Structure 1
Amino acid sequence: MASVLITGTSKGIGLEAALAFARAGHQVFATMRNPTQSPALAEAAAAEKLPILISKMDVDSDASVHDAIAAILKDHGPIDVLVNNAGVEAVGSVEEVPLSAFRSVMETNYFGVLRCTQAVLPSMRERRSGCIINISSVAGRICNPPLTAYCASKWALEALSEGLAGEMKTFNVRVALVEPGIIDTAMARRIEHPEAKSPYGQSARFAALFEHSLKTPVPPSLVADKILEVADSGTWQLRHPVGPDALGFIQWRTAMTDEDWIDMNAGDDATFFAKLGGSS
């Protein structure tokens, strides 16, 4: 049985990952910003009598991360697996998304991961054992407007993870990236319904793309199963695309030059969707 810390477990992928690890017999420390406002995981854990302990932690706060993880280490011993799942999005053109939103996305999706990772690394390094799984996205491998702010944070996360993997393999600590495609989460549903009209047509285009994809929704439990598989398998593979469209999106991008990719994103909807359809 491993000791597993998972961030962002109030809903979606984080909640399902907590359930998947606990059902597999692992001790789960599930963290979220406001446990009292998000009772779903606690109710499921109680109903199934699962080994899940829920605690409050805000990955945007140095003090919150330090105190929460220090308490777990003090009361329960070392963490074997860290799953950095907490994440937020921002949708819109570079012109229209406020600088504060760019900062907020980077604070959670990049610095939040860094805070949690630095808190567990000393113990993992000293024990020469451990696994860190960072939940990235296909958006960590490709960039489409209007998700530029989100993609930038995930590209940063990919770089952090790749560099960290090279450092930690020296100490027998595994680092992995899980890269979901379009998954039926609250985040995806928000992208499906843009809030405001824009002179930039990409927001409406991506809303249509997500709306079409979500007609055959892929549950977050699929990603949770992949996270559990990565942890339990002992694999040293760095990147793990997951979902029926994930690898297709990545291959679509790598098959095009940078200039062709930019022209396609700058072009009309008909051309964009024709090229997307031709990639599948």
Structure 2
Amino acid sequence: MTTDAPAVSRTTILVTGTSSGMGLHTAVELASRGCDVVATVRSEGRADVLREAARGRGVELDVRILEVTDHDAGRALVDAVVHDHGRLDVLVNNAGRGCVGTAEDLSMKTIREQLEVNYLSVVALTRAALPHMRAQGSGTILTVTSVGGAVGQPFADAYCGAKLAVEGFMQSLAPVALAHGVRVGVIEPAAVATEFVGSVERAGGEDSPYAAQLQAYLDRTAGAFAAAQSAESAAVAITDAAPAEEYRFRHKTGEAARAFAGRSLAGLDGSAVLAMTSTWIA
């Protein structure tokens, strides 16, 4: 007489912003490691490249549509994932949006959009996931921020503001969530070669009083991204951090990120960061 072996529970991971770059490679890498991955994209038309990448690695993804700024849709999606997969072990908040421009050239509409995508959508999905994870007594919420969440940079006023906000939110939440078995953390990439760079919104034209400084910044940034970390490499770091056995709040995707973010604490009066970033716009 034989008996069926008990079903092995696989880790269920929800990853947002997976149509390209780090998100795409993270979703595929997690699936290749045996996880059940729910990967979200903004529209069905953006899913083809993701599905092709998954087929190339011989893995399957549960691809779903989500506009992360639709908070009701986000909550419904999280509930559906738990219903369909039985649980939610890890949420990777990866979806993000870039913006280049200084305060005087930015519109309030642009600033709000940065907060909506990079901060409020993350808060909303985190709030949606927490009750499920708390009820099961375990879970991980990992948010992909940026070294811009540790170091404010010229012409990244709105972007860094939103990333700093989400890091503050997560660091405040972390000890409370941990008391209920839920690990909260952030992962900070430095320059990563992705489509994200090409899609960054820019504010301020040739008639801006900051035009020369902006051009100097863009020239410097182009050089930095010429030697950027690959999206595949960053995704491996994210994948390692998502279901990691050892908990820590802050992760980096590589040595460049560790060195850069370290400047934020190198001088407690802020002088180390300003001395560095001031050279970028000279």
When normalised by structure 1's length, the TM-score is 0.89
Q: Tell me, in whole angstroms, the C-alpha distance in 1 between the residues paired with 2:148 and 2:280.
A: 21
1:111-122 correspondence to structure 2 within 5 Å: 111-122=120-131
User: Aligned partners of 1:205 and 1:192: how far apart in 2?
Assistant: 17
Q: For 1:94, what is the secondary structure of its paired residue? A: coil
Letter in 1 for 2:236: D
Aligned with residue 258 of structure 1, among 262, 270, 277: 270
| Residues 1:232 and 1:75: Cα distance change in structure 2 (over 3 Å) | closer
The code of the aligned residue for 1:53 comes to: D
The yes-or-no answer on 1:168 pairing with 2:177 is yes
Native 8 Å contact 2:93 2:142 kept in 1 = yes
- Superposed CA deviations along residues 210-232 of structure 1, whole A, max 9, x for unmatched, are 21122223111122111111123
Matched, 1:41 2:61: no
State the secondary structure of the residue aligned to 2:91: strand
CA offsets 1:241-265 (integer angstroms, 9 cap, x no match): 2234212212334334435644665
Aligned residues: 270
SS in 2 for 1:160: helix
1:180 aligns with 2:189: yes
How does 1:1-280 map onto structure 2 within 5 Å? 1-190=10-199, 196-197=205-206, 198-200=208-210, 201-256=212-267, 257-259=269-271, 261-262=273-274, 265=277, 269=281
Give the distance between the partners of 1:261 and 1:215, measured in 2 at CA: 22
Counterpart code for 1:94: A
Letter aligned with residue 233 of structure 1: A
* 2:191 partner SS: coil
Change in 2 beyond 3 A, CA 1:264/1:75: closer
**In structure 1, distance between residues paired with 2:276 and 2:20:** 34
Unpaired runs of at least 5, structure 2: 1-9
How far apart, CA to CA, are the structure 1 residues paired with 2:69 and 2:201? 26
Q: Offset at 1:183? A: 0.6
- Does the 8 Å CA contact 1:13/1:224 hold for their aligned counterparts? yes
Distance in 2 (CA, whole Å) between partners of 1:150 and 1:79 is 29
Distance 1:70 1:121 in 2: 11
RMSD, matched Cα: 2.2
Deviation at 1:119, TM superposition (A): 1.1
The one-letter amino acid paired with 2:249 is: L
CA distance in structure 2 between the aligned counterparts of 1:261 and 1:230, rounded to whole angstroms: 27
- Contact 2:111–2:158, Cα closer than 8 Å, also in 1: yes
Corresponding residue SS for 1:122: helix
* Identical amino acids, percent of aligned pairs: 31
Change (3 A) 1:192 1:152: closer
Relative to structure 1, the CA distance from residue 221 to residue 104 in structure 2 (aligned partners, 3 Å threshold; closer, same or farther) is same
Structure 1 runs not aligned, ≥5 long: 271-280
CA shift for structure 1 position 68: 1.9
Q: Is the 8 A contact 2:11 2:89 kept in 1?
A: yes
